[in-house]
Amino acid sequence: LGKCLLSPIVLAAYAYNRSLSELGPGGRSDDEPGVLCQLFAFLMAFFGLAPTLLLLAMALECWLSLGHPYFYRRHLTRRLGLTLGPAAAALCALFCALPLLGFGVPMQYCPGTWCFIRMAGGGPRELGFPVLYASLMGLLVLAIVACNVSSMRHLYGMARRQPRRGPPPAAAPRMEELDHLVLLGLMTVLFTVCSLPLIVRAYMGAFAADFNENADLSALRFLSVNSIVDPWVFIIFRTSVFRTFVRRVCRRL
């Protein structure tokens, strides 16, 4: 949804050879972001934070189902699951709308085809929101990694407790837990690597006054790579050939 909403704006800027501030109403220069640039900055912040919050909900569900199955069975209902998605989206929308109300400043970045919150330069009113945004992202990343590591530990314990039935080729059922373990490990590492650059850039811009638009653009690219690569990792890993290869590697290890 984020890419479907943001990509047409970028393509229009390239098609008309104008920056977002010039393309939308209300903007006259890079220092005066227009309505379109402010909307773009809001969508970038929202679709960077909302999927992370949903990933935390998924990691918590996985951890509870593996480590606390009785609590999971009694308290986590379908109704709760249906309300978590809209509630997470509403909270993220309210939080990301703070720059539109004056806490934080939307800014157009080079080459003029994307906007985000100003992450360097300015006073506490301008830099308070990016530091808060990066801190919240950092806490979510730590919580997701902790939940996934705990889930991986439970999966490894389940695989160890599986009784071997016959010779080693007949002991394949215990590898089902290891399949989930490897997939969860890959997605955890990918998510962490893609999320950390934006957090580091926000802190460097606020506390070290490091204004580098190319580095900020690279950090945002890393963040967008996660949502592109994650589905492909899941799709490729679900193929029988790749899973057979992983099982052979696990057996050798």
Taking a C-beta distance cutoff of 8 angstroms, is the pair 205, 130 a contact? yes
What pTM was computed for the model? Answer: 0.72
Question: Residue 118 has which token pair?
Answer: 């100003």
79 CB contacts (<8 Å, ≥6 apart)? none
Nearest 10 degrees: CA dihedral of 189, 193, 194, 195? Answer: 100
Choose from 57-61, 213-217, 224-228, 244-248 the range with maximum mean pLDDT: 57-61
Q: What is the pLDDT of residue 170?
A: 46
pLDDT tens digit sequence for 69-94: 888 788 777 888 788 888 888 888 88
How buried is residue 132: exposed, middle or buried, by Cβ count under 10 Å (0-12/13-18/19+)?
Answer: middle
87 CB contacts (<8 Å, ≥6 apart)? none
Residue 124 CA: distances (Å) to CA of 11, 75, 119, 137: 34, 42, 11, 19
Decide if pLDDT at 27 tops 60: no
Written as one letter, the residue type at 239 is: T
Domains and CATH numbers, the chain: 1-160+172-251 (1.20.1070.10)
Indicate the average pLDDT of the chain.
76
121 Ramachandran zone, left/alpha/beta (phi>0; psi -120 to 50): left
Task: Give, to the nearest 10 degrees, the angle between helix 175-207 and helix 35-67.
Answer: 140
212 Ramachandran zone, left/alpha/beta (phi>0; psi -120 to 50): beta
